[in-house]
Amino acid sequence: MTVPTNRFPDDFVWGCATSAYQIEGSPLADGAGMNVWHRFSHTRGRVVNDENGDIACDHYRRYESDIELMKQLGLQAYRFSIAWSRILPEGTGRVNPAGLGFYERLVDRLLEKGIQPTATLFHWDLPVALDDRGGWLNRDIAGWFADYAESVFRRFDDRIKLWATLNEPWVVSDNGYLHGTAAPGHRSLFEAPIATHNLMRAHGAAVQAYRATGRHQIGLVVNIEPKYPASTSSEDVAATRRAEAQMNRQFIEPAMLGRYPEELRDVFGEAWPDWPASDVEQIRQPIDFIGLNYYTRAVVRNDPGAWPLRAAPVRQSQVAHTEMGWEVFPQGLTDTLLWIKDRYGAPPIYVTENGAAFADPATAAGDVLDDPRRVEYFRTHIRAVHDAMRAGVDVRGYFAWSMLDNFEWALGYSKRFGIIHVDYATQKRTPKASATFYSGVIASNGAVL
């Protein structure tokens, strides 16, 4: 693959990404079952300002005008997630035709507008009915997930050609079961490894199900935050390896190499089981691509008091940070793309999420002052992708996070990642300068960088 010096290959795909619970609203409409983020966000004290996704961007009802905006941007593809509990209100068994109907309308409208739909089966919004049966702690969930996957493959594989099983299993295991900062809000050293393992077993089962009938591509989306040691001391280097294993290799390694990083026993101790080899073999199903979500890097030091990693980030001074407190470090994206290529056999990669939160207040006149730092963030990170491609990494596409300002999980609506501003009181959409910039990138296939 020859990569032109000043633009991207002709078949490179440019898109935007969102997820169901963050933008749709109407979480219980038309027979949908309750999902764990509905229950979590309605539990006092879990989300900033006790905000929730009851309305969000009202995309469930405004999807046609939102797709019009995507068309105006010149998007070639759109990454969204399917809400499991709309399709199977109890998580298994009865299919809800109205739930399928929403995604049918969404997909058909996208195709009408010449925009490629790419779907993630699970972006954290587990049906409550399954959480009440143990959720990711119940080994049966691999079968439940495969059945759900089959019901949507059967319906949409003629129109959706790029599938992802899970979005960021690390966040579900680490935030949802280890630290309790995300749904279902558990805090347990013993539960997190079980959640990890069942998430990955479910991934494997869904890929196996896809191979039986699917005719296109399926992969796994992981968040990778490259870890750089704060010093060359053996303590800091060891701490960095623990942090890297726990976030960056805990999921991609079983999926791609059929083994868990040995550092995980050092992190979890007796709480890390000896998984049956047959389980890990089943997890290692050949996949067609890796979806990489990249935002920032971490500089890591040894910290004996930091549970359970015994590692802590070191904030970098005198450099740009986003509203999330994340360092702006585009080199980390190049480094990560090269790391995946070198370590996991040069798989095709889509950058499935990359973006930045900055405060973008709307002025009284209704204009939106898009922070110029967001344009710079996209410019430098898209350049970083190009650098990796010039160095031989097989990157197939880039999805900006996010198309719309949306519900930022436990941070509610306090963080704005959108290239399109949403006034939540009026639901008015206003493209930001970053939308105009990204539109130019797409139109010129990266030549404007």
Ligand X SMILES: OC[C@@H]1[C@@H](O)[C@H](O)[C@@H](O)c2[nH]c(CCc3ccccc3)c[n+]21
Told to check if 371 binds ligand X by CB under 6 A, we report: no
Q: Which residue has the tokens 């020859």?
A: 2
Please tell me the distance from the alpha carbon of residue 78 to that of residue 45, in angstroms, as a whole number.
33
* Nearer residue to ligand X within complex by CB, 100 or 292: 292
Told to check if 437 binds ligand X by CB under 6 A, we report: no
137-142 own/partner pairs: CB under 8 Å, 24+ apart: 137/177, 137/191, 137/194, 137/195, 137/198, 138/198, 139/198, 139/201, 141/198, 141/201, 141/202, 142/198, 142/201, 142/202, 142/204, 142/205
* Nearer residue to ligand X within complex by CB, 168 or 371: 168
Determine contact, residues 403/16, Cβ cutoff 8 Å.
yes
Q: Which residue has the tokens 């790391």?
A: 339
* Nearer residue to ligand X within complex by CB, 168 or 244: 168
The binder of ligand X chosen from 41, 408, 418, 420 (CB under 6 A): 408
Told to check if 413 binds ligand X by CB under 6 A, we report: no
* Nearer residue to ligand X within complex by CB, 151 or 167: 167
Told to check if 282 binds ligand X by CB under 6 A, we report: no
Nearest to 401 by CA among 297, 315, 322: 322
Catalytic, 244? Answer no
Would you give the binding string for ligand X spanning residues 205-244, x where CB under 6 A is met? ------------------x---------------------
Please tell me the distance from the alpha carbon of residue 361 to that of residue 65, in angstroms, as a whole number.
23
The binder of ligand X chosen from 24, 125, 168, 236 (CB under 6 A): 168
The binder of ligand X chosen from 14, 378, 417, 438 (CB under 6 A): 417
Told to check if 246 binds ligand X by CB under 6 A, we report: no
Told to check if 439 binds ligand X by CB under 6 A, we report: no
Told to check if 293 binds ligand X by CB under 6 A, we report: yes
**Taking the complex as a whole, how short is the minimal distance between the CB of residue 413 and ligand X, in angstroms?**
12
Told to check if 252 binds ligand X by CB under 6 A, we report: no
Give strand ranges (E) for 170-260. 217-223, 227-229
Q: Which of 168, 225, 244, 327 is catalytic?
A: 168
Nearest to 170 by CA among 137, 202, 193, 143: 193
* Nearer residue to ligand X within complex by CB, 3 or 255: 255
In 258-324, alpha helices (H): 263-268, 277-283
Cβ-proximal residue to ligand X, closest one: 223
Q: Give the tokens for residue 358.
A: 């900055």
Please tell me the distance from the alpha carbon of residue 425 to that of residue 436, in angstroms, as a whole number.
24
Would you call 97 exposed, middle or buried from its count of C-beta atoms within 10 A (0-12, 13-18, 19+)? exposed
* Nearer residue to ligand X within complex by CB, 109 or 297: 297
Would you give the binding string for ligand X spanning residues 338-367, x where CB under 6 A is met? ---------------x--------------
Catalytic, 376? Answer no
Max CA-CA distance within the chain?
A: 62
List, by residue number, the catalytic residues.
168, 353
Question: What does the binding site for ligand X look like in residue numbers (CB under 6 A)?
Answer: 19, 22, 167-168, 171, 223, 293, 295, 353, 401, 408, 417
